[in-house]
Amino acid sequence: MNRTGLICRYLKENPHCTQRELAQKMDLSLGTVNTLLKECIQNKLLAPGKSVAGTCELTDKGLEFLQNFQVDGALIIAAGFGSRFVPLTFETPKGLLEVFGERMIERQIRQLHEAGVYDITIAVGYLKEKFEYLIDKYQVKLLYNPEYSCKNTLATIYRARKVLQGRNMYVLSSDNWIRDNMFHSHECGAWYASSYMKGDTSEWVLSYNKKGRITDIQIGGSDCWVMYGPVYFSREFSEKFLPLLEKAYHTPGTEQFYWEHILMQNIHHLEMDINRQPENQIYEFENLEELRQFDPRYQTRSDNKALELVSTVFQIPESDIHNIRCLKSGMTNKSFLFQVGERHYICRIPGPGSELLVNRRQEAAVYEAIRDLGISEHVVYLDSRTGYKISEYYEGSHNARANHPEEIKACMAILRKLHGSGLTVNHSFDIRERIDFYERLCMAGKGTLFEDYDSVREKMERLMNRLEHLDRPKTLSHIDSNPDNFICLPDGSVRLIDWEYAGMCDPLIDISMCAIYVYYTEEQMNQLAELYLERPADDEERMVIYSYAALGGFLWALWAIYKASLGEEFGEYTLIMYRYAKDYYKKADILWKQLFSSKENPDSI
């Protein structure tokens, strides 16, 4: 930290600041401050003051010198999901949550403005549209990080490197709450804010020398100063740091690195000081429980639909909903785990666009039909209009494993029980209708279809015509019968969950859907059919299973394209599903021609 610059900054901010006050602000002895003042006077940066307190005044040369340390702007990182704040962050990015009636990111922007810092860039990713209003309200800029969902903050800083290059910049986290304004128009060297943690901590611990220079960084410690809150990148610091960051970004294995990993690995070559902050100055809320303790409003009213629903269903205040944590987001819905009393439950929240993809009234009808069959999860609440669902969580359970033969065998037994139950509902799963529907959604959403889409679409039409020609019997089928939807309980029993797509259909569709979801090979698909049928599949059954594998791949590829148009990406899933459509059309076509070889033109059927 440039002490001369600090002296000039403090006197610019408070021309009547005494030597004793300077010593207190700079955490230096009175003698050291006196020596620094004399040096500044000798260098004509300061002139002796005329006040009784003996303060000095900045000269024109001092003001010119201070310009080297003027803050050029701020980068606010706001790209992440904030999984520990579900369900609030399902609707609102963490930085946009209110604390005492003010959004955390807006509080930081306001504090920056008070310090004269107006050039502010916000790095966004998750729910990026939610931040757009800040452009008009505060004239900020938004920088989109397309890697927000698969990489950590190292990638975010890399994406924003041009914003930092050659500039003096604050780097902030949108979800920090800062009590007193700690920002200035001038900063005199790179620093990392730090708070003192009593007892054991898993935070990043700082070691520093007598001058406040950080000398070492370790993860975890006890009774120590830790990285906590804002950071300041001087242009000199960025000149050394950014090349190291770029090199790390292009190094395999750093995808989940924080940018601080690069600082930690190179701290002996980089100059950064500790900026020790008083107790209760900076807050990084780890979860909703901590926020509830800080802002009592969240104990009774979070303004979150899901928590309000849980409160109503169980007739309890929101403060009685505990141990909330995110479950792995499904491909159609989002869900979170919570505790009421001694029991745990799962709340499902319909994902974007699911109101078009899923008929919730039909789903409710299926749950009603299978209620006494004993194969599904225990549903506490299901809204047939919105799709919100609360169900019991089974302690010690796990999703069925696709590579575990005994578990998959038990899953197939559940499907046999379902298909052989004789249960019916008043709606069917019509794959032709679904393909047509998803295709229209893709076209309306300007989804990017495949180059050979038209020819593949024609082949899918041929498969559907052939299946209709066979006129096979229909039973109540699950449709989304992938291993993730089979829950293995500690007592050895299995439950089949998430019946959103269920309806009357050829039961063999459930075999196909299970296989393609876990990317089974043809051999594995045939083994799966044998587990279900308890015998090898005949040629017609194999042809039907392959046909539904192709049609299912085509259907889910369209589904993924539509979801992508809504901002949700599923990586290579779209490509793999489309490949199932093409590859298993060929396999089904061969079997069809063998089955109808006696016909003059089997391909015409």
CA atoms of 83 and 419, how far apart (whole Å):
38
Separation between Cα atoms, residue 168 and residue 214, nearest integer Å: 19
The H or E element that residue 159 is part of is helix 153-159
Per-residue tokens: 294: 């800080």
The enclosing H or E element of 8 equals helix 3-13
| 442 pLDDT more than 90 | no
- pLDDT at 82 (0 to 100): 84
Read off the pLDDT of each residue in 463-468 and give the average, rounded to a whole number: 95
Tokens of 557: 């590829």
In terms of CATH architecture, what is 73-284? Alpha-Beta Complex (3.90)
Task: Give helix then strand counts, H and E, for the chain.
Answer: 23, 23
Cα distances from 77 to residues 74, 90, 123, 309, in angstroms, run: 10, 18, 5, 31
pLDDT over 70 at 265, yes or no:
yes
pLDDT at position 301: 82
Class of the 398-604 domain? alpha beta
Domain ranges of the chain: 3-69, 73-284, 304-393, 398-604
DSSP result, 404-464 = -HHHHHHHHHHHHHHHTS----S-B--HHHHHHHHHHHHHHTT----TTHHHHHHHHHHHH
Q: At what angle do helices 453-470 and 539-565 cross, to 10 degrees?
A: 140
pLDDT of amino acid 605: 55
Q: For 137-165, what is each residue's pLDDT tens digit?
A: 999 999 999 888 888 999 999 999 999 99
Least confident of 100-109, 294-303, 450-459: 294-303
Instruction: Among 98-102, 486-490, 561-565, name the one with the lowest average pLDDT.
Output: 561-565
Please, which residues bridge with residue 343 across strands?
340
What 3 state SS string does 160-181 have? CHHHHCCCCEEEEECCEEECCC
Q: How far apart are CA 373 and CA 375, in angstroms?
A: 6
- Residue 230: phi and psi, rounded to 5, are -65, 160
Cβ-contact 462, 470 below 8 angstroms: no
Identify the residue with better confidence: 567 or 453: 453
Cα angle vertex 251, ends 249, 256, to 5°?
A: 60
Map residue 282 onto helix, strand or coil: strand
DSSP string, 57-112: EE-HHHHHHHGGGB--EEEEEE----GGGTTHHHHS-GGG-EETTEEHHHHHHHHH
The Cα–Cα gap between 352 and 539 comes to 40
For residue 421, which of 487, 502, 492 has the smallest C-alpha distance? Answer: 502
pLDDT confidence of residue 224: 95
Could you tell me the pLDDT band of residue 600, with boundaries at 50, 70 and 90? low
Q: Which of 105-119, 463-477, 562-576 has the lowest mean pLDDT?
A: 562-576
The amino acid sitting at 100 is F
Please indicate, yes or no, whether the overall pTM of this predicted structure exceeds 0.85.
Answer: no
CATH homologous superfamily of 304-393 equals Phosphorylase Kinase; domain 1 (3.30.200.20)
Beta-sheet pairing, 169-173 with 214-233: antiparallel
pLDDT at 602: 57
Q: How confident is the model at residue 33 (pLDDT cuts 50, 70, 90)?
A: confident
Give me the mean pLDDT over the 505-524 stretch: 97
CA 314 → CA 289, 292, 339, 479, distances in Å?
Answer: 19, 20, 11, 31
- Cα(496)–Cα(502) distance, integer angstroms: 12
- Residue 413: CB atoms within 10 Å: 15
The reported pLDDT for the residue numbered 54 is 56
Cβ(429)–Cβ(513) below 8 Å: no
The region that residue 114 occupies, defined by phi over 0 for left and psi between -120 and 50 for alpha, beta otherwise, is alpha
The interaxial angle of helices 30-42 and 3-13, nearest 10 deg, is 90
168 neighbors 233 (Cβ within 8 angstroms): yes
The confidence score (pLDDT) of residue 381 equals: 95
Pairwise CA distance, residues 379 & 363, whole Å: 12
The pLDDT value given to residue 288: 87
Q: Give the HSE-up count for residue 432: Cα atoms under 13 Å, Cβ half-sphere.
A: 10
Alpha carbons 316 and 355: distance in angstroms, whole number: 29
CATH topology of domain 3-69: Arc Repressor Mutant, subunit A (1.10.10)
Q: Is 402 exposed, middle or buried (0-12, 13-18, 19+ CB in 10 A)?
A: buried
In degrees rounded to 5, what are phi and psi of residue 526? -65, -40
pLDDT per residue as tens digits for the range 319-376: 899 999 888 655 567 899 999 999 999 999 887 656 666 789 999 999 999 999 999 9
Q: What is the mean pLDDT of the chain?
A: 90
Q: Cα(first)–Cα(last) distance of the chain, in Å?
A: 82
Burial status of residue 280 (CB atoms within 10 A of its CB: 0-12, 13-18, 19 or more): exposed
Distance CA 118, CA 73 (A): 6
